[in-house]
Structures are given as structure tokens and as C-alpha cells.
């Protein structure tokens, strides 16, 4: 007796006229299954059930094979062993190429799991999906561990023992006890005092916004961390996370620069979107005007150039005209690079940004994103809110 998969191949070799009564959707599924049958991995057991079901429902619509179909599916046999279903569900810690550790979620394709992760992505810092679609990466933080274990454990994920131990330890903490240890009034560690002094200077007047702003950087708490922001400076200072989104339609770039000045957030790394040369030129013009309004006229370096087309030539000339070509050193106030690329000399230079602004472009898993992770203030300045990487929204 003929096998079901051989019957499928014979069926699809019939003239189109003999298959005209099949529903388009069923015919499409049969053709898809035939490709898998002829491939190296064969079909799964669930796919075999689907194939038998479709053949049974359509047996009367193919008169030439009706009897053979009914006979074959009565006691179905197959020419090969079914392909095992990939049931991978793992949650573990991995080290990337830069030596940093991340949380990794690995699972076989599941639309339900993907939807669940998408629904929670704004609560998970550094959450990104790898190109192959099987891996999701997140920052190795206490909050992420708790949130992801609570999400994945009911789904029968194989959770690494190290993560389980971290989870148990974190759950054992008393929030009030931990917070009390790191209240700024109780935080008198000598290294903390040194870092603050190196950051702001010993004689620098410090207002409350600056104190709140640095809580992310130095990991301390204040008695009052909650406030309804009244202006952009306060919105940045009272941010809940290191990555934030500023709506381009609500705030001009010069106001962002002004806010960073008031919060003593220099030097600044500005990431340009170089893919559209005309847009990049427009962004440079707005960038220049914003610096002029804030009386920033020197120690600016734009460390990339565009091809010498119509807009690229104007872009390159503007950099020369505005003298945005200073050598990178400890006095450089603002640096501009193109998204996805970091000049090699950055890696050996002691210069480091206090804040990062993605100008009309998004944070992605690129070299610029990895480089900007060292900073506790990363601003995405666009018209549309990012889908994953930014956690705060200001309407």
C-alpha cells in the first residue's frame, strides 16, 4: 500500500484541472507540506495529522484519487520517521563578545511566548531579539531576573540553577532595609565621596535636580524620589531608567542641550542617522543652531563624513565651517558619530560621555549601543516612540 507522503506527491503531480475543487488554503498547505516531505528533515507528527485531515476532507473533490486516498488514510503509513519537535525552553546567563554577562531566553518558535514577551518588554531593561529569532537578550539585573523568572517559570522553562539562586536571594531581601542602607544621608563611603567630587567638583553648587539625576549613576536613594515633573530638566532628572525617550514634536533640541548643561551632563555623545544624507544635513543644521543658542562654540568633534554627493558635500563643508573637528581629548564637550559605528581611536581614548543622545535614530544592537551602555543617561530623540529599547515615555 502507498504511504501518505507518496500519495501527497502523486496528488500534487495531477493536472491543475483535477485540483480546481480544492480550497485555495488547503492547496497551499498541501504544497507546503510536500516541500517538507521532500526535504531532509521530514514532517512532524502534528503535521502528519494535519495532512491526513486535509486529505480526508477533500477526498471527494479529487475523483481520480478518491478511493486511494480513503484506503491510504484508513491505516496511514509513512516512508520516514517523523521529525522530532524542537521543545527548547531555556533561561540562562551568557557572556557576550565584550565580556559582559546577559540574561538569555532561548526557545523554539512559539507565537504565544513571543506575544507574552512583547507584552512585557517595557518592564525588561536591555531587552532585544537576536536575528535568528530563537534568542532574546536582557540585561543581567535584579529586576529582570525577578520579572523573567515569574514569566517563564509557569511556561516550564529550564531555568539555570544560578538564576534560581539569584531569584531566591533577591526575594529574601527586605526593600526597606536595603533602601535604608543606600539613602544618600546614610551613604558615606569614601569612594562614593571621591566619585561625586571627581564628577561635579568640590566647589560646584548642586541643586536638588542634579542630586536626583545622579541617583541612577551612583545607585543611591533619596527620601523623596517621586515628583510630577514641571519642565524638561526635571523630567530627565526624575527618570526611572537610564534609557528615556523625548518626543521630538514636544521639545526642540536646544532645550535638551540646555537641560544637559543645567544637570552638568557634559560631555555628550550625539549619534546621527547617516543613512539619509539629506536628513543628516538637516539634523546637523538644527544641531549647530542648538549649540549656538546655548553658547557652545568650541570643543565639538563630529567624527564621520558623508560621501560627496549633493547633501553629503554640504554636510562635510558645514563641519569644516563650524570647526566641528577638534581632536578628541578630556576637553571635548560634544562628540558626534554615526549610528552603528564607533571610531577605533575611541577605544584607547580616556574620553567618556556623561550622556548620549540618539538624534532621529534608535538604539539598536550595534557598536554604538554597546558603547553607550556605559552611560546612565541615554536619550532617544525621535518623533515615534521606540518599540523596545526605551523604557520611559513623555507625552
| 6-14 long-range Cβ contacts below 8 angstroms, 24+ apart | 6/79, 7/55, 7/65, 7/68, 7/69, 7/72, 8/33, 8/34, 8/37, 8/51, 8/55, 9/34, 9/37, 9/38, 10/65, 11/55, 11/62, 11/65, 11/69, 14/62, 14/64, 14/65
User: Do 244 and 211 fall into the same domain?
Assistant: no
User: Do 288 and 269 fall into the same domain?
Assistant: yes
Domain-ending residue, one of 165, 199, 225: 225
Query: Locate cell 568640590: which residue?
Result: 202
Number of domains in the chain: 4
Angle, CA of 230, 231 and 235, to the nearest 5°: 90
For 82, which DSSP code?
A: P
Q: Name 308's Cβ contacts closer than 8 Å, sequence gap at least 6.
A: 316
Q: Would you mind telling me the total number of residues written for the chain in this entry?
A: 395
User: Do 359 and 297 fall into the same domain?
Assistant: yes
Give the pLDDT confidence score for residue 105 in this predicted structure: 95
Domain-embedded: residue 311: yes
203 vs 197, 199, 237, 259, CA distance in Å? 9, 11, 21, 21
User: Do 205 and 311 fall into the same domain?
Assistant: no
Cis peptide before 267 (omega within 30 of 0): yes
Q: Name 365's Cβ contacts closer than 8 Å, sequence gap at least 6.
A: 128, 137
User: Do 257 and 221 fall into the same domain?
Assistant: no
Give the pLDDT confidence score for residue 191 in this predicted structure: 67
Which three three-digit cell numbers place residue 60? Answer: 471527494
Give the pLDDT confidence score for residue 89 in this predicted structure: 94
Domain-ending residue, one of 225, 253, 287: 225
Greatest CA separation for the chain: 94
Which three three-digit cell numbers place residue 354? Answer: 556623561
Domain-ending residue, one of 46, 74, 102: 74
Cα–Cα distance for residue pair 55/26, rounded to 1 Å: 9
Give the pLDDT confidence score for residue 123 in this predicted structure: 87
User: Do 160 and 287 fall into the same domain?
Assistant: no
Give the pLDDT confidence score for residue 203 in this predicted structure: 61
Cα–Cα distance for residue pair 130/341, rounded to 1 Å: 19
User: Do 8 and 126 fall into the same domain?
Assistant: no
Which three three-digit cell numbers place residue 44? Answer: 512532524
Give the pLDDT confidence score for residue 146 in this predicted structure: 96
Which residues span the domain enclosing 51?
4-74
pTM: 0.60
114 vs 16, 87, 273, 344, 365, CA distance in Å? 38, 15, 29, 37, 19
249 vs 63, 163, 252, 253, CA distance in Å? 65, 42, 8, 10
User: Do 360 and 331 fall into the same domain?
Assistant: yes
Query: Given its phi and psi angles, is residue 306 left (phi above 0), alpha (psi -120 to 50 degrees) or beta?
Result: beta
CATH of the domain at 364: 3.40.50
Give the pLDDT confidence score for residue 174 in this predicted structure: 83
Domain-embedded: residue 390: no
Domain-embedded: residue 393: no
Q: Name 204's Cβ contacts closer than 8 Å, sequence gap at least 6.
A: 264
Domain-embedded: residue 232: no
Give the pLDDT confidence score for residue 207 in this predicted structure: 79
Q: Name 138's Cβ contacts closer than 8 Å, sequence gap at least 6.
A: 102, 103, 104, 105, 124, 125, 126, 127, 128, 144, 148
User: Do 315 and 378 fall into the same domain?
Assistant: yes
Cα–Cα distance for residue pair 97/287, rounded to 1 Å: 34
Domain-embedded: residue 395: no
Give the pLDDT confidence score for residue 193 in this predicted structure: 61
User: Do 142 and 206 fall into the same domain?
Assistant: no
Cα–Cα distance for residue pair 107/111, rounded to 1 Å: 11
Give the pLDDT confidence score for residue 391 in this predicted structure: 45
User: Do 56 and 126 fall into the same domain?
Assistant: no
User: Do 246 and 377 fall into the same domain?
Assistant: yes
CB 268 within 8 A of CB 333: yes
User: What is the residue-level pLDDT of the chain in tens, covering all 395 positions?
Assistant: 799 999 999 999 999 898 989 999 999 999 999 999 999 989 999 999 999 999 999 999 999 999 999 999 999 999 999 988 888 999 999 998 878 899 999 998 888 999 999 899 888 988 888 866 689 999 999 999 999 999 999 999 999 999 999 999 999 988 777 777 767 666 666 666 667 667 766 565 667 888 889 888 887 877 776 778 889 999 999 998 888 999 999 999 999 999 999 999 999 999 998 788 899 999 999 999 999 999 999 999 999 999 988 899 999 999 999 999 999 999 999 999 998 888 989 888 999 999 999 998 887 767 888 888 889 999 999 998 876 554 444 43
Return the closest-CA partner of residue 187 out of 149, 220, 224, 148: 220
Domain-embedded: residue 82: no
Domain-embedded: residue 234: no
Amino acid at each position: 500500500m502507498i504511504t501518505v507522503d507518496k500519495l501527497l506527491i502523486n496528488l500534487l503531480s495531477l493536472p491543475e484541472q483535477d485540483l480546481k475543487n480544492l480550497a485555495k488554503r488547503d492547496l497551499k498547505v498541501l504544497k507546503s507540506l510536500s516541500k517538507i516531505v521532500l526535504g531532509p528533515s521530514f514532517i512532524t507528527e502534528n503535521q502528519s495529522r494535519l495532512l491526513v485531515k486535509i486529505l480526508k476532507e477533500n477526498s471527494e473533490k479529487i475523483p481520480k484519487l478518491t478511493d486511494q486516498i480513503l484506503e491510504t488514510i484508513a491505516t496511514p503509513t509513512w516512508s520516514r520517521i517523523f521529525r522530532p519537535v524542537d521543545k527548547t525552553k531555556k533561561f540562562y546567563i551568557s557572556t557576550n563578545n565584550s565580556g559582559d554577562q546577559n540574561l538569555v531566553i532561548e526557545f523554539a518558535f512559539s507565537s504565544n511566548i513571543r506575544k507574552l514577551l512583547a507584552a512585557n518588554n517595557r518592564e525588561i531593561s536591555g531587552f532585544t531579539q537576536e536575528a535568528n529569532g530563537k534568542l532574546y537578550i536582557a540585561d543581567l539585573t535584579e529586576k529582570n531576573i525577578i520579572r523573567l523568572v515569574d514569566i517563564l517559570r509557569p511556561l516550564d522553562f529550564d531555568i539555570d540553577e544560578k538564576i534560581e539562586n539569584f531569584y531566591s536571594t533577591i526575594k529574601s531581601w527586605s526593600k526597606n532595609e536595603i533602601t535604608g542602607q543606600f539613602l544618600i544621608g546614610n551613604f558615606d563611603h569614601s569612594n562614593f565621596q571621591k566619585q561625586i567630587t571627581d564628577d561635579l567638583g568640590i566647589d560646584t553648587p548642586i541643586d536638588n535636580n542634579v542630586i536626583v539625576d545622579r541617583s541612577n549613576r551612583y545607585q543611591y536613594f533619596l527620601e523623596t524620589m517621586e515628583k510630577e515633573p514641571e519642565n524638561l530638566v526635571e523630567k530627565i532628572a526624575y527618570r526611572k531608567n537610564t534609557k528615556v525617550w523625548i518626543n521630538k514634536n514636544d521639545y526642540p533640541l536646544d532645550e535638551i542641550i540646555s537641560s544637559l548643561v543645567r544637570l552638568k551632563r557634559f560631555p555628550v555623545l550625539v549619534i546621527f542617522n547617516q543613512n539619509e544624507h539629506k536628513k543628516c544635513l538637516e539634523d546637523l543644521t538644527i544641531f549647530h543652531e542648538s549649540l549656538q543658542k546655548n553658547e557652545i562654540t568650541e570643543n565639538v568633534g563630529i567624527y564621520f563624513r558623508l560621501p560627496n554627493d549633493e547633501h553629503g558635500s554640504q554636510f562635510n563643508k558645514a563641519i569644516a565651517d563650524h570647526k566641528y573637528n577638534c581632536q578628541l581629548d578630556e576637553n571635548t564637550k560634544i562628540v558626534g558619530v554615526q549610528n552603528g559605528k564607533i571610531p577605533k581611536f575611541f577605544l584607547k581614548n580616556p574620553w567618556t560621555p556623561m550622556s548620549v543622545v540618539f538624534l532621529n535614530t534608535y538604539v539598536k544592537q550595534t557598536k554604538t549601543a554597546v558603547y553607550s551602555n556605559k552611560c546612565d543617561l541615554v536619550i532617544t530623540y525621535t518623533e515615534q516612540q521606540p518599540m523596545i529599547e526605551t523604557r520611559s515615555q513623555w507625552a
